[in-house]
Amino acid sequence: MPTTSTIRVQVEAALAHKFPSALTPPARMVRPVVPTGIESLDALVAGGFPVGAVTELVGEECSGRTSVALSFLSKITAAGKVCAWIDGSNSFHPASAAAAGVDLKRLLWVRCGVQEHTAIQETKRFALPDACFAAKAITKGLHGGGHGTHPRTETKGLPAALGRFLGSEAIVPRCAEPIAKPRPTPPHYESTLVSASAPVRKPKRAKAYDAIEQALRSTDLLIQTGGFSAIVLDLGGVAPEFAARVELSTWHRYRVAAEQTQSSILLLSQYACAKSSSELQLRLSPMENTHEERTVFAGLRARAEVLRQRYTERPANVIPLRKPPQHAQDGCWKQSTSWVGTR
């Protein structure tokens, strides 16, 4: 009668062309890590964030998720590698990233959830000074003598030009023009009047879903393109009830793609979305004031807790008879302000 090991070898040989090592459990893979630049956090997660896997930072707003991500990107960009930041909540601040040590020349910033009319307004805002200084075409007139219109006609557009040049029409005083008084609108006509130039406002739920869809599609394109050592998917400003609706197959696809391309995917969220697809999960608590000075704000204290860590490197292959000391599951670090100096 064949033994169990013989039957297992026969089954694996029969299914080798479809499922290699069908009955053999896969070996534990200890991935290389990249340090985050925070000593206490690196000691907590055994050296840093894993390469070729999904790392998830879960926490409320003002819990230090962005600070940890920027510190992580600063180490990668300092090594001459390229990273990407998928801004799902339109909250990324390039000046803060540069102050944290991130090389902006090696960072791709993808803004999601920005309405079309907002982008058009920003484009017009930066193009206004050229339009204000552009000379008008010469028109022949009775008083102009072929060199322009009457001065009274030219002053009519002066307030609008100054308002566009300064960026706000409310602070520009009116010139000598007749001020048109607004006519009262009947109450029953207010609901029927719709301005053609006013943008159509979407409900909050539709805006959140549009931002999430744009962020996920952008992440798919960047992972398939390759060449990025780290991709940060920032969903920290998205409400948990919207982020929780993302299918688990999406995070599993990111996990497989990250392993193939050997890129680190960092997910920032308020709710643990990736579940078992993440190699490392950290929960960050809201930062607290250090209270080192009575009248001066000195800094903040952050705290992180390990929710999930798949595999860690063992110091030796020998298993002791006694229970080994348990690894710490939380760590703290401090962020000091620039005006208090080094302590």
Q: What is the pLDDT of residue 23?
A: 74
Reported as a pLDDT band with limits 50, 70 and 90, residue 72 is: very high
Q: What is the pLDDT of residue 232?
A: 96
pLDDT for 18 beyond 50: yes
Average pLDDT rounded to a whole number, residues 296-308? 90
With contact defined as beta carbons under 8 Å apart, do 213 and 246 qualify? no
Residue 265 CB partners (closer than 8 Å, separation 6+): 53, 54, 55, 219, 223, 230, 231, 233, 254, 258
pLDDT for 34 beyond 90: yes
With contact defined as beta carbons under 8 Å apart, do 333 and 98 qualify? no
Tens digits of residue pLDDT in 186-236: 554 444 444 444 555 566 677 778 889 999 999 999 998 889 999 999 999
pLDDT for 272 beyond 60: yes
Question: Residue 76 — φ and ψ, nearest 5°?
Answer: -75, -45
Q: What is the pLDDT of residue 33?
A: 92
pLDDT for 251 beyond 90: yes
Distance from C-alpha of 236 to C-alpha of 113, rounded to nearest angstrom? 13
Each domain of the chain, given as residue ranges in start order, spans 33-115+221-314+324-336
pLDDT for 171 beyond 60: no
Give domain 33-115+221-314+324-336's CATH number out of 3.90.1720.10, 3.50.50.60, 3.90.1150.10, 3.40.50.300.
3.40.50.300
